[in-house]
Amino acid sequence: MQPAASTIYLAPEGFLPELLVELGDASVIADRLVEARGPARPVAWAQNVWLEPQRIPIASITDAAHKLKALQRNWALWSTTLHRRAALIAAALPKVSSRPLAFPAAPPTSPLGSWTLGDERTLIAAPRSTSPFVHGEPRFIEDKVAPPNRAYLKLWEALTSLGVHPRPGERCVDLGASPGGWTWVVATLGAEVLAVDRAPLAPNVSAMPGVTFEQRDAFALTPESVGQVDWLFCDVIAFPEKSYELVSAWLASGRARRIVCSVKFKGETDMRVVERFKALPGGSLRHLFHNKHELTFMATRS
């Protein structure tokens, strides 16, 4: 059984057309699973990527479970057809824990494979996938009291993906901060944060230690006026081109060690802007599980 010369991509719910445009030469296997020739590509509109998938003939449910376990231990089923047969195979495999993560705990480190049934006699299985979470869906133990909105989950996911987060003594800027979901995250981690927005922060966030608020246009704040920062965060509601200009300016200035910026779309997705963000040096662009019609750009400077 040789690895197929292809890669399988799981599109985020509602964004299969964007993934197909981004890949250009892919075909839908089933549901949100898309296959494209060659090794994995740096795509933005993928929730998870199955690496070196194999098509494996199977004689029975027991045979299927045996062949999967021979490849590795941990498997996540993406069921698109023959659901009962797939469920019986999954039941014969070791159980994979899907307990919510207590941020800022590290994500799982064990390799996680993904599989589905191509037909009654064929497994489609990839022993490795890019996300350590089942189907690229990180779940967290949520705080339903303190954060002023659910935007904090996007930042938790982004920081978990980066494998690093703000620490006490670090200087951070949060553009488009109101009502304060991202500022709340940074402040709970003990870092200093300058929050900027035309609208005010939620009172409980504004009162947190380490939080300084400026009520002004976030785009009027230049890297030169702020100086060196450890983190630049931006969840501002703006046209994607405007966010691109902001990120480009900060990257060119060299004044931010790390950048996390939302790229929000309204109406039709502008794929040209997506490609421009993907071309920025030292960064990555991806659709987070907690994103809506938006992507998240992340960059780290040595």
> Do 183 and 271 share a domain, yes or no?
yes
Place of tokens 């399988």: 8
Is 264 tagged catalytic? yes
* Token duo for residue 198: 């035309």
Listed range (16-25, 83-92, 94-103) with the worst mean pLDDT: 94-103
**One-letter amino acid identity for 100?**
P
69 found inside a domain: yes
> Do 255 and 195 share a domain, yes or no?
yes
- Active-site residue (options: 69, 264, 266, 292): 264
CB atoms within 10 A of CB 104: 15
Q: Is the pLDDT of residue 3 over 90?
A: no
Confidence of residue 164 (pLDDT cuts 50, 70, 90): very high
Q: Which of the listed residues 136, 166, 183 is the one where a domain comes to its end?
A: 136
DSSP string, 72-109: -S-EEE---S-HHHHHHHHHTSPPPP-PPB-TTSPPP-
> Do 184 and 243 share a domain, yes or no?
yes
Confidence of residue 276 (pLDDT cuts 50, 70, 90): very high
Domain span holding position 268: 152-300
> Do 91 and 124 share a domain, yes or no?
yes
Q: Is the pLDDT of residue 302 over 70?
A: no
What proportion of the chain, given as a percentage, has pLDDT over 70? Answer: 98
Determine the average pLDDT of the residues in 189-209: 98
184 found inside a domain: yes
Give how many domains the chain has, as a whole number.
2
Give the global pTM: 0.94
141 found inside a domain: no
Question: What does pLDDT average to over the chain?
Answer: 96
Confidence of residue 278 (pLDDT cuts 50, 70, 90): very high
70 found inside a domain: yes
Can you give the pLDDT at residue 97? 82
Q: Is the pLDDT of residue 1 over 50?
A: no
Place of tokens 């060690």: 257
- 176: domain CATH number is 3.40.50.150
Q: Which of the listed residues 106, 136, 166 is the one where a domain comes to its end?
A: 136
**Tens-place pLDDT, residues 32-68:** 999 999 999 999 999 999 999 999 999 999 999 999 9
> Do 262 and 287 share a domain, yes or no?
yes
